[in-house]
Structure 1
Amino acid sequence: MNIVIIEDETSVAQNLSDLLYEINPEIRILVVLETVKASIKWFEQNQAPDIALFDIKIADGSSFEILEKVPLNFPIIFTTAYDEYALKAFKYNSIDYLLKPINKSDLEKAISKFKNLYTRDKAILHNNSKLLKAITEINCSDQIKKYKKSFLVNYRDQLIPLETSEIAYFYLENHITYCVTLYHKMYQVSSSLEKIQSQLDPSFFFRVNRQFIVSKPAIKSVQVCTNRKLKLAVIPEHSSNITISKLKGSTFKKWMKL
């Protein structure tokens, strides 16, 4: 299921993203847009998503301005801290109207409503097999542990989704969390290392110390120091010494199958 989020508050956008991935890890967030201008440009240049979440009041105006200037033919879930726009919202392709702060239960009901309203037509069923698969898996998402397939990262004036498989490591510096990709790109992430660790597949990522979470493909070499600590060399290279305590070393070796 391809989703576009229009939201000008970074923390709210991150929370929405986390909730959507909890509801269904197969959901793909195409882009997070913060302004009317950027939204109009994006919809004019890209294929329509399966569904979108529109905050009503955004940085440079109202999301209703987007709907008035660009003909959109996909369903919308409106999100807002105000309830006076409800009637106007339902004049458009609205399937729900959620008041902030948004919780998982309300968002899950809105996604379920989308399923009921937009999967009855057989043509839709035929052309959106991936959507059907995503919605089907909503019911079993609480039974099987799922891990995030992408993270929202800060890039210029936007939030963009970054595939987890592309990430070499996360690290903390001056109370700010960053991630570095296997392709030598660095981004800022609006989450703590503790939260990120809980969302990662432990067979692929390892929390080596308080500052670093590394992926297996990023590990170039492991050096055993005289004090029985381990020292990692990673790709891309990092300026800090990445060490693992002797207490955690044995667990790390088993994880690496050394």
Structure 2
Amino acid sequence: MNVVIIEDETRVAQNLCDLLFEINPEINVLGVLETVKSSISWFADNHAPDIAFFDIKIADGSSFEILEKTQLNFPIIFTTAFDEYALKAFKYNSIDYLLKPIKRTDLEKAILKYQHLYSQDKTIIDHNWRLMEVIKEMKASAKTTIYKSSLLVNYRNQLIPLAVGDIAYFYLEHHMVYCRTKENKSYQVAKTLEKLENQLNPQLFFRANRQFIVSKLSVRSATTMDKRKLKLVLSPPHHSEVIISKLKVTLFKKWIKS
């Protein structure tokens, strides 16, 4: 079985590779692609895989862009933290998905589902036509998405509501997620950064890296570093450096100007 993985987080991609090899040592990973641009180029120049794993949100955009610009002739399993509506839509249309962090049991079930669907005389054309219909429906629904306006945070052994508009940034520290307000107060948040990323308005918040989600109003400046990275200066400041990788620099610049 030839496999392609589209994933911009090295650790997640390596974990998926390891799990695939554990399940079936004969699985051949043809490539791990990190961007929309490199993925489109790869599919144009190489034979189609038997199956591909698509992370929905990658460094330079959405994997949906790949689907719209590439003539598919292979099945896809999504790796995602998308909302329940999207997950139900994928499932209804026989497109499987894996919630991060990926578990071996879930991956095994997805592989078995693929083998069941495509070991029979089924056409991928109809499968992919229905996939494109799902994408259109999801894009239409995204225009009316209601993002979080407040969050429950931990304060002195109590849960209190905090307006999202008062938050300067979210950060990961010692495996716990915190938010820091514009008044320089920090609170623990009982959510992962991945879940927060999907619940926050993307026009106001940006996933800078694995440790930070920053508010547009908190960014005071950005300094160019070696290898085309950016270092952010936030207000209020944080003791850790906030670095934008070169893969996200273009996205960040577009976001900060919007």
What range is the shorter-chain TM-score in?
Answer: 0.3 to 0.5
Asked which structure has the greater RCO (Cα within 8 Å, sep 6+), the reply is 1
Larger Rg: 1
TM-score (norm 2): 0.45
